[in-house]
Amino acid sequence: MTRKYFGTDGIRGRVGEGNITPDFALKLGWATGRVLGKGRGGKVLIGKDTRISGYMFEAALEAGLVAAGVDIQLLGPMPTPAIAYLTRTLRGVAGIVISASHNPYEDNGLKFFSADGDKLPDEVELAIEQELERPLNTVGPAQLGKVKRVDDARGRYIEFCKSTIPATMTLRDFKLVVDCANGATYHVAPSVFEELGAQVVAIGDQPNGFNINRDVGTTSPDALRETVVREGADLGVAFDGDGDRVLMVDAGGNLFDGDQLIYIIAKSRLQQQCLKGDVVGTLMTNLGLEHALHRLGVGFVRTKVGDRYIMERLKRDDGILGGEPSGHIICRDRTSTGDGIVVALQVLVALKSAGRSLGELAGEMQKYPQQLINVRLDRQREIVGLPEVRDAVESAEQELDERGRVLLRPSGTEPVIRIMVEGADEGQVAAIADRLADVVRAQVGG
């Protein structure tokens, strides 16, 4: 069955439109309680980021779950990976995150974790969708759920993050700028690094409900770069609004993306003899990472875009490391989902262990130039499989040989064909991308 409401990462959109409304959230809470609630003793944890609409959706979910007879534990503003961790350790039947991640405050979303801290399986999401089609019936007064707040959620998660690096290791050698994107890490990330000994300069740590991801965080790293240089810091760390992504900056203000951080962690794990399985990336992972890993003797595989698919492949092969260029990285030997704080700590451990800088380690991986072009369609229709387009792609792949890649794929959210060309020669890459875009536009015009 095709899912009607759930996407690859929950349900997301503009507040007040489509399914991002309080009445839908109430019904969704009820349906979730019906599917996952296990009578008295079963509890669902709810956390959120800092956008103003979180209050509204928290209350709506609370009402729906209580009506289904499910107890609730409220976590307040907490990073998405914290909800995954606390759902597991507090023995919840599920965790719900109210967040639109790296989107602006006008958007919001709802995403779910299982009792194990993983994304919900497809069959559970389908079961929830089926319940959504039924009339909402409230349980009897004696069976209504209860609600309480977890007062020590922040401290629990801070201690967990610290536990993911060796107990004897400190960060006293580092002056760090920590950009919290005015999001869910604002009261967590600076404390983690400070308690481990680092000197911390925090930015993007004054959320007001409206400024999440605005000119800060992983989507706007210039503020971090400028602050690192101005403060004479050793490194900068940027999170997105819900804390599951991370990018880093060196002392010179140079930005390093998820692919480069994955390489650093993979090499460190390899040297510690604890790297298991292939590293998992996506169709958008830079070819330079694949080649750099192969030089280390490390296998690499690609999945469809989305952390859900990365995790599925890691589980299938019993691997421990995967992620995306965006900085959504999974260290499965440390936690059950993408976690920006945990990933940053793993990179810092790698730097200390190697006695080298971020730039030196990342420099071992040559990032190949990428050209991305979107060709808009007048409607969703098949373009990629047309003979003229296939021939143009085959010709481009022959021209690049093994020194590059070509990817054409329709967007899953809008009538657009996304064209990506990657290779060692920047001029060649740009020329091929333009040529493919012209072929696609000709077919659209036809």
Among all residues, which ones are annotated catalytic?
Answer: 101
Distance of CA 228 to the CA centre of its chain: 24
Distance of CA 274 to the CA centre of its chain: 24
What distance in Å separates the CA atoms of residue 77 and residue 166, rounded to the nearest whole number? Answer: 28
Q: How far apart are the first and last CA of the chain?
A: 34
Q: Is 109 helix (H, G, I), strand (E, B) or coil?
A: strand
Element (H, E) at 155: helix 153-163
Contacts of 415 (CB under 8 A, 6+ apart): 376, 377, 378, 379, 380, 381
Cβ atoms of 249 and 235 closer than 8 Å:
yes
What distance in Å separates the CA atoms of residue 178 and residue 224, rounded to the nearest whole number? Answer: 8
Which of 289, 255, 263, 288 has its CA nearest to residue 347? 263
Q: How many CB atoms lie within 10 A of CB 131?
A: 18
Kindly tell me the burial class for residue 446, based on how many C-beta atoms sit within 10 Å of its own C-beta (0-12, 13-18, 19 or more).
Answer: exposed
Cβ atoms of 176 and 18 closer than 8 Å:
no
Q: Half-sphere exposure of residue 24, counting CA atoms within 13 Å on the CB side? A: 16
Q: At what angle do helices 122-132 and 22-36 cross, to 10 degrees?
A: 120
What distance in Å separates the CA atoms of residue 165 and residue 318, rounded to the nearest whole number? Answer: 21
Cβ atoms of 260 and 351 closer than 8 Å:
no
